[in-house]
C-alpha cells in the first residue's frame, strides 16, 4: 500500500498546488491601467501631474490640485498574445514498469483579451478639502493555454480578478503643498483549472475557486516647487489576504504496481491560503518647459520579496474511493492535499519618462517609455507566472471636445524580455522535496502585448 498511498497523495495535492500561482499572478501581474491619461505617458508623472480625477489612485494628494468636480471613467483593453515553445519530460518510473514521456510543442495567444474598467470622481468641499471616490483593478490575469500544449500537466486556465474601491481625502495645507490619504476596500476572486493530469500519477481534473476581502490605504504628498515644477511622493500599504475557497477534483487514478485496484477521486474540500500583496512607494516629478511642452518622470519601488513561499492548507482531508484488487482493501482512504511552493521573488523598480505637447487649445499629445522590472526570473518562473522584465512604449491624445467634456485615448506596446522556464512540482509535506516522478516543463516564453484605453472626463 505504500506506492498506492504515494500516488493518491500526489493526485490530491494537484488542486492545492495550482492554487498558489493564480493569486501570486494577480500580484506579479500588477495592473497599471487605472487611467487612460497617464497611460499615454507610460505612467510618468502619475503621482505629480494632477490632470483629472484618476490621480487619486496614484497619489491621493493630487485631488487638491483638481479644482473642479470631475468624473473620469473609462476602460483599458489588454489584447491577447504570448508564445511558448518547449517540452515536457518525465523519467521512467517503478523500475521501468512505467515508461517515460516527452511532449514537444508550443502555445500561442495564451494571454487572453481582458477589459480593465475604471472610474474616478473628485469633488472639492472648499479651498482646503477635496473628496474622491475611485474603482479600479490593481491586479488581474487571464491565461488559457492550448489543450495539447507541452505544459498541460501543469496548467490549463488561470483567471484572477482584483477590484479596489477607494475613498480619498486630500488636504491643501498651503497654496503650494497638499497631502492626501486613500482608504481602500479590496476584493479578490480567482478560478484555476487543470485537466488531463500526468498519466499514472495525476489523471484527474481539478478546479479551485476562492475569494477574500481586505482593507488597505495609501498616503501621498505633492509640492509645487514653483510655477513650472511639481514633485509628488506616495506610499501604498501592503494588502493581507486570507483566501478561502474550495478544491474540487474528480477522475480515476491508475495504479501501475497493481492495475486491479480501482481508485477514484470525486470530492471537494475547503482550503486556505495566506498571502501578502507588497508595499509600493513612488517618487514623481512634472516640469512645464513652456506653455506647450511638459516633461514627466517616475520611479516606483515594489517590495516583492514578501513572496518567499506559498503554503496552501487544506481544511479537511480528501476522500479517495478504492475497489478491486484485494478482499481486505478498504473502501475509502483519505489524504491531506496541502501543498508548498517556493517563490523567492525579489524587490523591483520601475522607471518611466514621458512628455506632453499642447498642439492647440483642443488637442494634447502624449508620449512615454517605461522600463518595468519583474520579480520573476529564469530561476523561479512558472507556467502560471510567465512574467519577465518589460519595456513599455506608449502614446496618447486628449481632445477637449467642449468646456466641460474631454476624451483621452491611449495606446501601449509592451515587450517582455525572453524568459526561460524549468519548472518541477514540489511535495506538500516537509521537507518539500521536488517530486521527480511528476516530470518537468522546460522552454522559453516570448511575449508582447497591445493595450488600448479610452477615458471620458466630465467637469460639472
pLDDT at 140 over 60: yes
**Residue pLDDT, tens place only, 86-100:** 999 988 866 666 677
pLDDT of residue 18: 31
**CB neighbour class for 219 (10 Å; exposed up to 12, middle 13-18, buried from 19):** middle
351-387 pLDDT, tens digit per residue, is: 999 999 999 999 999 999 999 999 999 988 888 888 8
Instruction: Name the pLDDT band for 300 (thresholds 50, 70, 90).
Output: very high
Return the residue matching grid coordinates 486491479: 260
The architecture that CATH gives domain 2-459 is Beta Barrel (2.40)
d(CA 299, CA 289): 20
pLDDT digits (tens, 9 = 90+) for 226-273: 999 999 999 999 888 887 777 777 776 656 556 667 777 788 888 777
Query: Which spans in 29-59 are helix H?
Result: 36-39
Confidence (pLDDT) at 91? 82
- Pairwise CA distance, residues 260 & 250, whole Å: 20
Closest to 318 (Cα-Cα) out of 404, 428, 233 = 428
Highest mean pLDDT among 37-41, 157-161, 204-208: 37-41
Task: Find residue 186's DSSP bridge partners.
Answer: 164, 214
- The half-sphere exposure of 278 on its side-chain side, counting CA atoms within 13 A, is 23
Q: Distance between CA 48 and CA 65 in Å, rounded?
A: 10
User: How many CB atoms neighbour CB 379 within 10 A?
Assistant: 8
Give me the mean pLDDT over the 147-153 stretch: 84
Count CB neighbours of 148 within 10 A. Answer: 10
Q: Extract the C-alpha cell encoding 251.
A: 477522475
The pLDDT of residue 6 is 36
Lowest mean pLDDT among 162-166, 184-188, 249-253, 270-274: 249-253
Amino acid at each position: 500500500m505504500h506506492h498506492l498511498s504515494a500516488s493518491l497523495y500526489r493526485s490530491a495535492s494537484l488542486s492545492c498546488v495550482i492554487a498558489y500561482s493564480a493569486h501570486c499572478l494577480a500580484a506579479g501581474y500588477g495592473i497599471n491601467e487605472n487611467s487612460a491619461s497617464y497611460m499615454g505617458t507610460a505612467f510618468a508623472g502619475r503621482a505629480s501631474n494632477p490632470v483629472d480625477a484618476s490621480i487619486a489612485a496614484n497619489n491621493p494628494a493630487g485631488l487638491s490640485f483638481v479644482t473642479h468636480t470631475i468624473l473620469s471613467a473609462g476602460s483599458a483593453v489588454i489584447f491577447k498574445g504570448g508564445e511558448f515553445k518547449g517540452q515536457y519530460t518525465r523519467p521512467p518510473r517503478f523500475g521501468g514498469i512505467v515508461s517515460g514521456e516527452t511532449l514537444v510543442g508550443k502555445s500561442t495567444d495564451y494571454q487572453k483579451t481582458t477589459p480593465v474598467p475604471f472610474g474616478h470622481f473628485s469633488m472639492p468641499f472648499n479651498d482646503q478639502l477635496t473628496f474622491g471616490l475611485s474603482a479600479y483593478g490593481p491586479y488581474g490575469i487571464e491565461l488559457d493555454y492550448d489543450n495539447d500544449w507541452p505544459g498541460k500537466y501543469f496548467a490549463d486556465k488561470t483567471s484572477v480578478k482584483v477590484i479596489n474601491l477607494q475613498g480619498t481625502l486630500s488636504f491643501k495645507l498651503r497654496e503650494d503643498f497638499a497631502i492626501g490619504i486613500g482608504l481602500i476596500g479590496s476584493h479578490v476572486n480567482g478560478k484555476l483549472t487543470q485537466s488531463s493530469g500526468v498519466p499514472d500519477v495525476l489523471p484527474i481534473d481539478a478546479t479551485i475557486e476562492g475569494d477574500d476581502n481586505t482593507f488597505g490605504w495609501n498616503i501621498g504628498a505633492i509640492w509645487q516647487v514653483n510655477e513650472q515644477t511639481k514633485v509628488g511622493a506616495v506610499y501604498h500599504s501592503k494588502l493581507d489576504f486570507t483566501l478561502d475557497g474550495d478544491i474540487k477534483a474528480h477522475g480515476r487514478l491508475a495504479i501501475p504496481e497493481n492495475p486491479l485496484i480501482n481508485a477514484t477521486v470525486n470530492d471537494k474540500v475547503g482550503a486556505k491560503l495566506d498571502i501578502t500583496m507588497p508595499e509600493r512607494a513612488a517618487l514623481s516629478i512634472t516640469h512645464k518647459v513652456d506653455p506647450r511642452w511638459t516633461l514627466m518622470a517616475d520611479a516606483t519601488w515594489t517590495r516583492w520579496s514578501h513572496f518567499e513561499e506559498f503554503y496552501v492548507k487544506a481544511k479537511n482531508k480528501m476522500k479517495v474511493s478504492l475497489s478491486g484488487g484485494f478482499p481486505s482493501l478498504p473502501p475509502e482512504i483519505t489524504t491531506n492535499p496541502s501543498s508548498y511552493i517556493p517563490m523567492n521573488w525579489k524587490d523591483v523598480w520601475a522607471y518611466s519618462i514621458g512628455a506632453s505637447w499642447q498642439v492647440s487649445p483642443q488637442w494634447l499629445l502624449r508620449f512615454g517609455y517605461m522600463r518595468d522590472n519583474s520579480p520573476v526570473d529564469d530561476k523561479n518562473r512558472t507556467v502560471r507566472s510567465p512574467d519577465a522584465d518589460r519595456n513599455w512604449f506608449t502614446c496618447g491624445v486628449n481632445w477637449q471636445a467642449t468646456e466641460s467634456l474631454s476624451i483621452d485615448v491611449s495606446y501601449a506596446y509592451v515587450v517582455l524580455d525572453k524568459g526561460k522556464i524549468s519548472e518541477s512540482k514540489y511535495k506538500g509535506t516537509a521537507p518539500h522535496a521536488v517530486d521527480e516522478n511528476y516530470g518537468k516543463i522546460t522552454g522559453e516564453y516570448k511575449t508582447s502585448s497591445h493595450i488600448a484605453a479610452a477615458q471620458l472626463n466630465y467637469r460639472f
